[in-house]
Amino acid sequence: MKATVFQRSRRHLLALLGAQPLLALAQPAAWPTRPVRLIVPNAPASSVDTIGRIVANQLAQPLHQPVVVDNRAGAAGALGVEVGRMAAPDGYSLIVASSSSMSVAPLLQKAVTYDPLNDFDFVSLMAVLPNVLVCHPARAVRNTAELIAWAKSRDGKTNMASAGVGSVSHLAGIALQSAAGFESLHVPYKGGSQGVASVVSGETDWVLTPAPAALGLVQSGRLRLLGHSMGVEAHPLGPVPSIGETVRGFEFSSWIGLMAPKGLLPSVADTLRQALTVALQQPAVRESFEANGAVPATDTGQEFRVWVERDIALNRKAIKVAGVQPE
């Protein structure tokens, strides 16, 4: 059976930690000798920024240098990624990449000038963020199967909210409809909070949205949680089942990872992966990730590249089904 990214990640973590003490980077190396810049292509307080800052705070110790977050928001992450692409490949400018900036923006924005697979060096995944399927508590559905059956019985007369055309919640929702064979009217809003709020108010029926946008409302009883978008082997939300248990093979989650401008020395990439492994093992990081609905994950550069290739393919298919044209 092919190993999942989480099984590989666990083996990778154990291999690295088994080969050296937890803080094995105790002796300063040739790199880094000065502060490292972490380019975050998103606004402060966004999920990508939050995860980036959590990791940056913990990377400083094993690297023996400050790690400074540099927010370069704009164009759904494309602006900051381009800044990173043009930086020197010396390891002192790194990119907090995401599914939005690497898997979606190049497909939907004609102005994007970078190639996500060929213009960067892949260091490692950092986190996977499941999308969660939620509905209004008054709806007569309690799980994914019942939502699908209910939507089919209403012959398309149900509404799916999203954060806007081409957003994660839009493409994830379209992917679910395509895989499960039902239709809901897409109702786009200006941002994730408005889309989720429409489900809370009953204006729309359901949304498949990044976990941080909905978990607080689930806990307060204002939304009902039906499933998550990670694989059936993953349990990011305890007993909450994967959508894939009902819709076989369905996976559509967001991710955040570490990339560098093309030309990074392999030795620097290895040092970064070791430091990231150390950082993600810290209890404070795991607690912060859990609070933000994120699952820590590390892998090799090649495994990370394969992950991104698969994600681009999933988003390309969803964009085609949705009929969204690049602008």
- For the chain, the domains span 5-129+254-322, 131-245
Q: What is the pLDDT of residue 2?
A: 44
Q: pTM of the predicted model, to two decimals?
A: 0.84
| Pick from 81, 79, 56: nearest CA to 69 | 56
Q: Which amino acid is at 201?
A: S
DSSP character at residue 166? T
- Contact, 17 vs 281, CB < 8 A? yes
In angstroms, the Cα distances linking 230 to 184, 318, 322 are 22, 17, 21
Average pLDDT over residues 216-225: 95
CA distance 74 to 151: 36
Per-residue pLDDT reduced to its tens digit, 131-184: 999 999 999 999 999 999 999 999 889 999 999 999 999 999 999 999 999 999
Q: What is the pLDDT of residue 29?
A: 52
In angstroms, the Cα distances linking 86 to 77, 106, 174, 260, 261 are 15, 17, 34, 10, 7
In angstroms, the Cα distances linking 42 to 28, 78, 198, 202, 292 are 31, 9, 24, 30, 16
Q: Give the SS3 label for residue 98.
A: strand
Where does the pLDDT of residue 292 fall: very low under 50, low under 70, confident under 90, or very high at 90 and above?
A: confident
Same fold, 5-129+254-322 and 131-245: yes
Q: Which amino acid is at 224?
A: R
We find that the CATH architecture of domain 5-129+254-322 is 3-Layer(aba) Sandwich (3.40)
> The CATH number of 131-245 is which of 3.40.50.720, 2.40.50.140, 3.40.190.10, 1.10.3720.10?
3.40.190.10
Give CA torsion, residues 167, 170, 171, 174, to 10 deg: -170
Q: Are strands 131-135 and 206-210 parallel, antiparallel or unpaired?
A: antiparallel
Where does the pLDDT of residue 9 fall: very low under 50, low under 70, confident under 90, or very high at 90 and above?
A: low
| Pick from 229, 228, 173: nearest CA to 198 | 173
